[in-house]
Amino acid sequence: MMDSRFSNSDTESLEDYKFSFESYLDYSARIEIDQSNPWTNKLLDTVSVTESIYEFHKENGRTYHAYRAGSYYYPNDLLEVERLDSQYDILKIIMDGRSYLSPWSQENPPHRVLDIATGSGCWPIDMGDEFPESQIIGTDLSPIQNDLVPPNVQFIIDDATDEWPNGNEWCNFDYIHTRATFGCWADMLDQVIRPAFERLRPGGWMESQELMGLLECDDETVTDTNAFKRWCDDIVDVSESVDRPLPLAANLKKWYIEAGFTDVHEKVYKIPVNGWPKVPRLKRLGQLWHANIDNGLQAFSYALLHRVKGMTKEEIEVSFTLPPKETRLRMSRYHW
């Protein structure tokens, strides 16, 4: 299930959608740093990028971010970038080809935009293309974004869990955005939503397109003995034990209101996990989402279960926490 929250501070058909798992990330590229930019102020520890940032931690055949190493439990290698790109494409299908639900248009564009925990950077790139006069900034712990970006898009290595710095460049945003950041925060309200509220201009908007991170079912086709459900429940429990809870979406509306936002809207989407729906569009969507999860089982499992439960790679792969493919493919009617 995906929950999209958008608030201010005062169809395309699936058949026509060109879906691709291809990625054009060039790991040899480096992001040029504007040393005059207050985002890179050394006093703020918003890092000046050096070669050490690219010396990714290696663990169980995957790589992980070097900046603030260990604070995020999921990989940043090419396999994960490809999965993030495909996830972005799927979520855009769910939103009928849109990148946002906030009331922006060519007649009313956002001038200053901040995307927190941008991941592979697809969202800022799309926004930069759609609004060429806007200034779009994406922040993340990992420098894994494509180097081929619109001239109005900038990526910054930054840890949003830090206290947000002061300065004109950190204020008066028109639009602040998060998407699929589950597992990033100990406290999304205090680390992200409250600071964002303070840094928006009057009348600005914040939008969070977040996933529940839980497996749900509308009937009784999924029981506690289901291997995939056991895996999901185990990953959620471990994420909470390290203070990086996966379930976020159910609390977003309450958090937005507590932070002071008004005119808070909520829209909930069910995402089928396989091809069980009868409606062709939902069936295809479920198949795509199933492939995305299937490609991410290692990414979701390895670091959490190895670091927290002390499991070896082999133990993770043979245990119920990485269920066999034939079990995952059964037509149980579950959704996110």
Domain assignment present for 17: no
Local confidence band at 6 (pLDDT 50, 70, 90 cut-offs): low
Range of weakest confidence among 127-131, 164-168, 179-183: 164-168
Residues 232 and 336 in one domain: yes
Residues 237 and 182 in one domain: no
Residues 114 and 261 in one domain: yes
Spatial contact of 298 and 322, defined as CB atoms under 8 Å apart: yes
Range of weakest confidence among 76-80, 222-226, 229-233: 222-226
Residues 299 and 206 in one domain: no
Helix or strand (DSSP H, E) at 296: helix 280-309
Spatial contact of 100 and 160, defined as CB atoms under 8 Å apart: no
Number of structural domains, the chain? 2
Residues 159 and 256 in one domain: yes
The reported pLDDT for the residue numbered 212 is 83
Domain assignment present for 165: yes
CATH code for the domain of 186: 3.40.50.150
From 255, 221, 191, select the one nearest 330 (Cα to Cα).
221
Domain assignment present for 22: no
To the nearest whole number, what is the mean pLDDT of the chain?
A: 83
Domain assignment present for 197: yes
Please compute Rg for the chain using Cα positions. Answer: 20
Residues 160 and 225 in one domain: no
Domain assignment present for 18: no
Residues 310 and 202 in one domain: no
Residues 38 and 144 in one domain: yes
Residues whose CB falls within 8 Å of the CB of residue 146, separated by 6 or more in sequence, listed in order:
24, 25, 26, 120, 121, 125
Mean pLDDT over 46-72 rounds to 84
Q: Which residues pair with 157 in a beta bridge?
A: 140
CA 47 vs CA 68, 112, 139, 147: distances in Å: 10, 22, 11, 19
Domain assignment present for 152: yes
Residues 200 and 285 in one domain: no
Phi-psi category of residue 275: left, alpha or beta, with phi > 0 → left and psi -120 to 50 → alpha? alpha
Residues 189 and 312 in one domain: no
pLDDT digits (tens, 9 = 90+) for 19-42: 333 333 343 444 444 444 433 333
- What pTM does this model have? 0.83
CA 95 vs CA 90, 92, 229, 247: distances in Å: 9, 5, 26, 21
Neighbours of 148 (CB within 10 A): 10
The reported pLDDT for the residue numbered 247 is 87
Question: How many Å apart are CA 163 and CA 132, to the nearest integer?
Answer: 30
Residues 275 and 235 in one domain: yes
Spatial contact of 1 and 269, defined as CB atoms under 8 Å apart: yes
Domain assignment present for 84: no
Q: Which domain holds residue 320?
A: 216-244+271-336
pLDDT at 317 over 90: no
Question: How many Å apart are CA 237 and CA 141, to the nearest integer?
Answer: 24
pLDDT at 45 over 80: no
Residues 228 and 298 in one domain: yes
Domain assignment present for 74: no
